[in-house]
Structure 1
Amino acid sequence: MTAGRRVLHIRFLGAAAVAGYPALLRLLHGITPVVQALPPDAALADVRGALRYFGRDAARLAALIRVRTLALHGTDCVIGVAANPLLARLAADGLGGPGVAEVPDDPAAVAAFLAGLPTDALHGVGPATARALSSYGLDTVGRVAAAPPATLQRILGAATARRVHALARGVDPTPVTPSAPPRSASAEHRFGHDELDPGTRRRALLTLADELGYRLRGEGQVARSLTLTVRYADRSATTRGRTLPEPTAHTPALAGLAYALHDALGLQRARVRAVALRAEDLVDAAHAARQLSLDPADERRRRAEAAADRARRLFGRKAAGPAANLDAA
């Protein structure tokens, strides 16, 4: 652990956090310039340079951030405070709800905090590595930390064993790298009443995918991932995201992923008030690789889409588009 280093792992809560993510990052930049975006709703912040300026320790500075997010954006958050990103993330994950949790910068306190955690709680230890360790009885972080390095090397190999043993002792030299959030574009449809019909919700998703696709194609951009947010009558919300098979602005591809995200939620009798799509990690279409298709039907669809875009630019947004669009009803 780096002496004097204090890192915050902030996860903003609620559907509004995804929509207002850029503004929330700007709030963090008002505290420290060393902010690393973790879309769609989290960030890392190295605050060691801000402690003296604000006259607070890291935990109290985290509490100040929470107050500001609530007061200025109506968004609560969970914040983990520790000496490195690994421990800060684990501290945040350990909270059952909004608040601030700190892991003291003391080897004994770090060991006690980590001891009972399952090995797959360590960020960077995947299911396969966790299964390999568990097969030898090393099913907690404390047991991995106490295991002889030679034993870990026999199980995992030298390089992986060194990395996992360091993580199990709370050692994470990963820097907080300042970064801006990936470029994104979003669209939302609000129903006039509690919408129970999944067919109508799918039509709304097609309409939003068509809107996003038209906008991205007009700007020469493609999206690498898509996020769906469903808002319910009780003001709660569910957000799910997934990476696209390839960067695209093709409406059928965006709509297909939107349908998959929606269907995976299993919303049988949910009272839905709004659905929103967010195309994320946008890049210039000219720089994005596209897999060549041998399907003539796909090429015809893309030509028809380009023709519909030209008609829209000439005669307005409703001049052409999928027949199942809500706008076409």
Structure 2
Amino acid sequence: MTTRQRHIAHIHLHAAPEETRYDDIIELMSGVTPHVQAVPPDAVQLDLTSALRYFDLSPYELIQTTQLRLKLLYGIDSSAGLAGNRMLAAMAADTAAPGHATWVPADRAADWLYTRPVTALPGIGRATADTLGRYGLHTIGQITDLPMATLQRLLGAGPARLLAERAHGRDPRPVAPAEPAAHLTADVVLDRDCLDPAQQHRAVLGLADRVGQRLRGEKQVAGRLTLTVRYADRSSSARTRTLPEATDHSPALAATALGLLTALGLQRARVRAFAIRADGLLPTGNAYRQLSLDPGDGRARAAEAAADRARRRFGPQAVRPAALAD
């Protein structure tokens, strides 16, 4: 029995749509195929496999028709990538000019990847690229030619395995129809007006930890945080920041939230309440995680998972960050 070749399209919208328009775009894409996944804030992915026979078009013709409909109905220019899986489609879209599409057929995927820089792969940050570069490894082809044992010595077993899978163009994730991302909020009202920076720091740290716990419990990651501060005179101010990568890891969320607190420059402000809103949510399985060469990162995540298990068994206060201990 042969497996039917998948045809996945990644469409990047060159005008970030408003929320209502984004809903309209998802609905428009659903007229092409029921297998549409929002990739907030400005992209969508489509599994065209089952739609090709209905429209009697080639994959490239169908994606060009879809781009034309976007332009005519909403005035939105787009670039698109077409390939056999979600990762390759997104990478192909990055190489396409506005109004055009890059198609990477399955039988040419290995050749297409071979000469591309290793940094084109998702999850390859500066630290990983610098480590590989010190050994003369700059292209994806050089990674695929390298024995796995050598790659593991350079990066460690886990990161090497992930990098090898991506370098060979493998990505089994399905296109999962879903609504555009919702949001998640945690807030705290202080007992009295607070002028103490240390107490403000502690309150925001506690909120970030709560948000992380909820994200992990719901198997989601957040791409953006907003910190809102309400003052004694009932006025408020807010700052928003996109995370370096979508995450559910409490230390990463805390670092961003505390950066927002610093950016607000509260100084002697009399604060009554804080709220953190996490949005740009994605299912954990649909998000890429940056490869890390720091063994401490793996240990921190393992400890976090153990703490979550303890909380589920003994209650939410069973394990707390040291900075929040009474």
Q: TM-score when scaled to structure 1?
A: 0.57
User: Post-superposition shift, 1:159?
Assistant: 2.1
Task: Please tell me the residue identity of whatever aligns with 2:140.
Answer: V
Q: Given that residues 9 and 86 in structure 2 are in contact (C-alpha distance below 8 angstroms), is that contact kept between their aligned partners in structure 1?
A: yes
Are 1:21 and 2:22 matched, yes or no? yes
Measured in 2, the distance between the counterparts of 1:154 and 1:3 equals 37
Which residue does the alignment assign to 2:128? 129
Shift of 1:253: 3.9
Q: Give 1:69's aligned residue.
A: 70
Q: How far off its partner does 1:252 sit?
A: 3.8
* Aligned pairs for 1:244-283 within 5 A: 244=225, 246=227, 248=228, 252-254=236-238, 256-257=239-240
Give the AA of the match of 1:13.
H
Structure 2 residue aligned with 1:44: 45
Deviation at 1:146, TM superposition (A): 0.9
Asked whether the 8 Å contact 2:14–2:98 carries over to 1, the reply is no
2:30 equivalent to 1:57: no
Are 2:280 and 1:299 equivalent residues in the alignment?
no
Alignment partners' CA distance in 2, 1:25 and 1:86: 20
Pairwise CA distance, 1:14: 2.0
Residues 275-325 of structure 1 show CA distances to partners (whole Å, capped at 9, x for unaligned) of xxxxxxxxxxxxxxx99x9x88111899xxxxxxxxxxxxxxxxxxxxxxx
Alignment of 1:306-321 (within 5 A): none
Partner of 2:224: 243
Paired with 2:273 and 2:6, the residues of 1 have a C-alpha distance of 57
Are 1:82 and 2:83 an aligned pair?
A: yes
Deviations 1:9-63 (CA, angstroms, capped at 9, x unpaired): 0111125566621111111111111111111110111111111111112111101
Alpha-carbon distance, 1:157 to partner: 1.4
> 1: CA distance between counterparts of 2:157 and 2:274?
51
Counterpart residue identity of residue 243, structure 1: R
Please tell me whether the aligned partners of residues 11 and 81 of structure 2 are also in contact (alpha carbons under 8 angstroms). Answer: yes
Q: Report if aligned partners of 2:9, 2:81 keep a CA contact under 8 Å in 1.
A: yes
In 2, Cα distance between the equivalents of 1:127 and 1:71? 40
Q: Structure 1 CA distance, aligned partners of 2:28 and 2:224?
A: 27
Distance 1:87 1:169, change over 3 A: same
Is the partner of 1:59 in helix, strand or coil?
A: helix
- Distance in 2 of aligned mates of 1:161 and 1:36: 29
Aligned twin of 1:144: 143
> Is 1:7–2:2 an aligned residue pair?
no
Q: Which residue of 1 aligns with 2:115?
A: 116
Residue 85 (structure 1) shift: 0.9
2:197 match:
none
Secondary structure at 1:177 match in 2? coil
Q: Do structure 1's residue 168 and structure 2's residue 167 form an aligned pair?
A: yes
Flag structure 2 segments of 5+ consecutive residues without an equivalent.
184-210, 212-222, 243-256, 262-267, 276-326
CA deviations over 1:114-139 (Å, ceiling 9, x no partner): 12222121012222222221121111
Name the CA shift for 1:125/1:297 in 2 (closer, same or farther; >3 Å): same
What does residue range 95-110 of structure 1 map to in structure 2 within 5 Å?
A: 95-106=96-107, 109-110=108-109
Counterparts in 2 of 1:3 and 1:300: CA distance versus 1, 3 Å: closer
Change (3 A) 1:15 1:162: closer
- Judging changes above 3 Å, is the alpha-carbon distance between structure 1 residues 3 and 153 closer, same or farther for their aligned structure 2 residues? farther
* Separation of aligned partners in 2, 1:181 and 1:91: 23
Partner of 2:46, secondary structure, is strand
CA distance in 1, matches of 2:79, 2:8: 14
Q: Which secondary structure does the structure 2 equivalent of 1:137 belong to?
A: coil
Residue 229 of structure 2 contacts residue 273 of structure 2 at CA under 8 Å; is this kept in 1?
no
How far apart are 1:183 and its partner, in Å?
4.3
SS at 2:272 equivalent: helix
Identify if the C-alpha distance between structure 1 residues 167 and 300 changes in structure 2 by more than 3 Å, giving closer, same or farther. closer
8 A Cα contact 1:18 1:41, kept in partner: no
Work out whether residues 16 and 41 of structure 2, in 8 Å CA contact, stay in contact via their aligned partners in 1.
no
Contact preservation (8 Å) 1:80, 1:101: yes
- 1:17–1:41 contact (8 Å) kept in structure 2: no
For the residues of structure 1 that align with 2:81 and 2:274, how far apart are their CA atoms? 48
Give the corresponding residue for 1:188.
none
Q: Secondary structure at the match of 2:163?
A: helix
- Tell me which amino acid in the other structure corresponds to 2:148: P
Counterpart residue type for residue 8 of structure 2? V
- Flag the 1:72–1:155 CA change in 2: closer, same or farther, 3 A: same
Aligned pairs (5 A) from 1:207-222? none
5+ long unaligned stretches in structure 1: 185-223, 225-241, 262-289, 303-329
Matched residue type, 1:164? L
- State the number of aligned residues: 210
Root-mean-square deviation (CA), in Å? Answer: 3.1
